[in-house]
Structure 1
Amino acid sequence: MERDELAAWLRLTLTPGVGNASARKLLAAFGLPQAVFGQSATALRQIVSATQASALLAEPPELAAQLDATWQWLHEAAPGTQRRVLALGDADYPDSLLTIEDPPLMLYLLGAGSFKENQGAAPTGPEQAAPHLIANDLRRSLAIVGSRNPTPQGAVHARQFARAFSEAGLTVISGLALGVDGQAHLGALEGAAVGGQRLATVAVVGTGLDRVYPKRHLELAHRIARHGLIISEFPIGTPPLAANFPRRNRILAGLAQGTLVVEAALQSGSLITARLAAEQGKEVFAIPGSIASTQSRGCHALIRQGAKLVETAQDVLEELRLPDAVNNMAPVTDDTGAESQDPSQQSLLKQMGYDPVSLDALQARTGLATAQLQAQLLELELDGQVARLPGGLFQRMGRA
């Protein structure tokens, strides 16, 4: 995008009182933003209100600074990554977002590639060797969302399922938030090393791409930029405003073929993503949990409303009708075969069940001495089969 064109698009998005819906009407009537700003007040009032028409005729005071910041950001990409701005109607604009109710006017991209494969000459230099997110990748993608404060089992599920999908060749899409989102991105990156697909994961964020939120995900964001893609509709410099995160969920749901909710309370923002996916005609999946866990109630509500109950990654791939992806999955062993072969530890795991349990309750169930029980729990914890929870509780960890 040339600087003059970028300036016109930024001006359209920055004009006060002109939202996406009005902007799309103007573009439909007059063409590119440059043409919009060349219209008279009379012509503009045929499409938008008089107040909006007046605002369009006055250049926003912050435009020059925003243009400079965006232009500088575009030209500071690190080796092996790309920075791009896509406008509505651009040839590389993702087709899957054109059909959602409120497609963003502009998308900012940071990462391994752009949305569609270069149809020209073969890559010739190292700067051209990065993979591209092509249309086929988006048709083989899944959003994974959930609680920012998942249970240990929920965090494990997010990572294990994401890894399984990534190994099967799917691109995992999430929101870079704490909890389930972060674990999903990590699992996808791990699975990409096995599956070898061209794009590991996509993060849809609620800030400008010159910022990382939360800050503790800075290194994760760098990894995603090297092996995947980070996307935002918000201008460079946009801070983490609370209202932006629910808004970005429509993009997250729109890019993916389906949405998997790992854990969610009844008021979770993940349910917004699930609702948007359903409204877009996409598949919604949910992992059930303990009836005693508040983090499972959102998933149970989704299942009652028609979401597909998921127990394994294969359940999702079969529902999405991706038989070749199922064939690409690593072999899945039975739970008991994948866990400890020690008969005493197997017995302890069976006695635990999958709900959180106290040491006293386990002692009553198993009849083991305290020292012996603690030693076995420590071994299982170190092996990743048991998690230690706050309040002196323990929980058995399932597998994807």
Structure 2
Amino acid sequence: MTAVTASLSDDQRAILSLWYEVNASLSAYHKLVTSYGNAQLAWQATVEAWKQLGLHHTHLKRHEQPDQTRASIDKIQQALVDRRYNLLFADQPDYPTQLLQIYDPPPLLFFRGNSARLHQAQIAIVGSRKPTAHAQKITFDMAQYLAQSGYIITSGLAIGVDKRAHLGALAQTNQDYQGRTIGVMGTGIDVNYPNHRDQLFAQIVDQGGCIISELLPHTQPHKHTFPRRNRLVAGLSLATIVTEATIKSGSLITARLTSEQGKQVFAIPSHIDNSNAEGCHHLIREGATLIYHPEQVLEDVNAQLDYDSRSYNAPSATTDLSRDQPETSHSPKMLSEGSDVEKSPSRSLSTANNQKKPSNVRPTRSALVIPEHLTAIYEQLDWHGQDLDALIVATKLEPSQLIGQLMELELMGIISVQGGRYLRV
């Protein structure tokens, strides 16, 4: 159920006022709140008192103009009333708890769309802004497969790999699996960047996904805003997949932050002369897990969740999955209420009523139902592709029968033909 914050309390206005006056500086905001105990007292303090804390002169200048601050907060209030976007504050139960576990959690999140997605189990997919055609295909397929397996796909809304990850997650024919993606912005919630991304934003929101930003409305892109975004992508997710990235790609920042948060990093290898994949090869050399199929991600993430839960008693099969998972560094406490979590294999990893009992049920790709007579040929296929002659030898089927079954699978949208080779999608 998507939270609605149309009316701001005095505390919330004070939080917004501080956030505005320090221009969304995390260090300055937390210094003020820590020094004064809460946002209201911090905002009511004098400019001279702020000077004693060593705050930047631009923050002091804004603090000297409280009327301008109030006017800015009034504009945000009106935008909330108009439902142009919405807000979550860190002290609200709907705020994603996993972000509270990172080093520098944002005090608030602007969002559009279905905020319930923030409380479901997420896997991040990131990579190059200029991926090869092969990487685009792999990214799309990986996101689609993992979304059908019950996970939310989180990425940074950039062109290239990020966009393909979002689109792959959205490409679901089963209504229960639509909108399974979260986009984290490196700009204000109302800024269309990169240009012409408004169509992607609208598609995510309309299909039931969510877009978030910690930055103030109207904030334009800057070289410092995207690393901030990357820490939220890593913080929200159980693991991060890098499908293709150069050695200087910002995706490696996301990978590093994921590792620092105690979570697993996956990387897809490529040809050694593919300069666009040097970042992935570097990650693998440094200890990231090499993968070539999304099932390997599911095995490792689910195995880690199982490992984290072994010290607890497993619930019965009828236990509500949204109330079972323990809060750990690898399975952050997430909340689920009134969303489609209960009716799909998506895993909400919440801890309700301080219960610490894990679910012993893993996310599965139950959205994919293969007819019995097509199971053998589907299981024979892989992600690399096989030509017709190889499939005839492997399946021992007559060519006419094999071609008929392959056509059925292709019409179902679960295999494709590329260069005369049949492969899973």
- Give the TM-score taking structure 1 as reference length: 0.73
Change (3 A) 1:133 1:198: farther
* Secondary structure class of the residue paired with 1:223: helix
Alignment partner, residue 9 of structure 1: 15
Matched, 1:211 2:191: yes
What amino acid sits opposite 1:19 in the alignment? S
Change (3 A) 1:49 1:160: same
**What's the CA shift for 1:175?**
0.9
Is residue 169–residue 195 contact of structure 1 (8 Å, CA) maintained in 2?
Answer: no
Change (3 A) 1:334 1:243: farther
Alignment partner, residue 150 of structure 2: 169
For residues 183-228 of structure 1, the C-alpha deviation after alignment (integer angstroms, 9 at most, x for no partner) is: 111110113x437248510000111111222233221111111211
Percent identical: 34
Is residue 261–residue 274 contact of structure 1 (8 Å, CA) maintained in 2?
Answer: yes
**What's the CA shift for 1:15?**
2.4
For residues 271-323 of structure 1, the C-alpha deviation after alignment (integer angstroms, 9 at most, x for no partner) is: 11101111111110001111111111110110111111111111001100166
Q: Which structure 1 residue ranges, 4+ long, deviate > 6 Å from structure 2?
A: 50-53, 344-347, 395-398
Alignment partner, residue 328 of structure 1: 366
Matched, 1:289 2:273: no
Change (3 A) 1:281 1:251: same
Q: Which of 221, 235, 248 in structure 2 is aligned with 1:254?
A: 235
Q: Which of 260, 282, 287 in structure 2 is aligned with 1:301?
A: 282
Alignment partner, residue 201 of structure 1: 181
Alignment partner, residue 107 of structure 2: 105
For residues 350-395 of structure 1, the C-alpha deviation after alignment (integer angstroms, 9 at most, x for no partner) is: xxxxxxxxxxxxxxxxxxxxxxxxxxxxxxxxx96448xxxxxxx9
**Is 34-43 or 86-95 further displaced after alignment?**
34-43
Change (3 A) 1:342 1:198: closer
**What's the CA shift for 1:343?**
3.5
* Secondary structure class of the residue paired with 1:202: strand
**What's the CA shift for 1:18?**
8.3
Matched, 1:86 2:65: no
Is residue 110–residue 231 contact of structure 1 (8 Å, CA) maintained in 2?
Answer: yes
Q: Which of 157, 160, 171 in structure 2 is aligned with 1:179?
A: 160
Change (3 A) 1:300 1:45: same
Is residue 416–residue 424 contact of structure 2 (8 Å, CA) maintained in 1?
Answer: no
Match runs of 1:213-232 below 5 Å: 213-226=193-206, 227-232=208-213
Unaligned stretches of 5+ in structure 1? 115-131, 348-382, 388-394
Match runs of 1:272-287 below 5 Å: 272-287=253-268
**What's the CA shift for 1:39?**
3.5
1: CA distance between counterparts of 2:134 and 2:233?
24
Is residue 17–residue 43 contact of structure 2 (8 Å, CA) maintained in 1?
Answer: no
Matched, 1:133 2:117: yes
Is residue 73–residue 210 contact of structure 1 (8 Å, CA) maintained in 2?
Answer: no
Is residue 118–residue 182 contact of structure 2 (8 Å, CA) maintained in 1?
Answer: no
Is residue 126–residue 241 contact of structure 2 (8 Å, CA) maintained in 1?
Answer: yes
* Secondary structure class of the residue paired with 1:240: coil
For residues 50-88 of structure 1, the C-alpha deviation after alignment (integer angstroms, 9 at most, x for no partner) is: 77795585236752443243223222237xxxx321233
Alignment partner, residue 69 of structure 2: 63
Alignment partner, residue 390 of structure 1: none
**What's the CA shift for 1:246?**
2.1
Calculate the aligned-residue CA RMSD, in Å: 3.3
Is residue 110–residue 229 contact of structure 1 (8 Å, CA) maintained in 2?
Answer: yes
What amino acid sits opposite 2:135 in the alignment? G
Matched, 1:19 2:57: no
What amino acid sits opposite 2:117 in the alignment? L
Alignment partner, residue 409 of structure 2: none
* Secondary structure class of the residue paired with 1:238: coil
Is residue 388–residue 421 contact of structure 2 (8 Å, CA) maintained in 1?
Answer: no
2: CA distance between counterparts of 1:17 and 1:239?
12
**What's the CA shift for 1:102?**
1.7
Change (3 A) 1:169 1:275: same
1: CA distance between counterparts of 2:167 and 2:23?
40
Change (3 A) 1:75 1:316: same
* Secondary structure class of the residue paired with 2:32: helix
Matched, 1:35 2:54: no
Change (3 A) 1:233 1:346: farther
Is residue 253–residue 274 contact of structure 1 (8 Å, CA) maintained in 2?
Answer: yes
2: CA distance between counterparts of 1:310 and 1:168?
17
Alignment partner, residue 82 of structure 2: 76
Is residue 149–residue 179 contact of structure 1 (8 Å, CA) maintained in 2?
Answer: yes
**What's the CA shift for 1:346?**
10
Alignment partner, residue 266 of structure 1: 247
* Secondary structure class of the residue paired with 2:73: helix
2: CA distance between counterparts of 1:205 and 1:17?
16
For residues 96-127 of structure 1, the C-alpha deviation after alignment (integer angstroms, 9 at most, x for no partner) is: 11121221222101102x3xxxxxxxxxxxxx
Number of aligned residues: 331
* Secondary structure class of the residue paired with 1:212: coil
Change (3 A) 1:302 1:399: farther
- Give the TM-score taking structure 2 as reference length: 0.69
For residues 130-188 of structure 1, the C-alpha deviation after alignment (integer angstroms, 9 at most, x for no partner) is: xx2363x1xx2100001111111100011000000110110000111111111111110
Change (3 A) 1:306 1:326: farther
1: CA distance between counterparts of 2:263 and 2:26?
23
Is residue 13–residue 19 contact of structure 1 (8 Å, CA) maintained in 2?
Answer: yes
2: CA distance between counterparts of 1:338 and 1:296?
18
* Secondary structure class of the residue paired with 1:220: helix
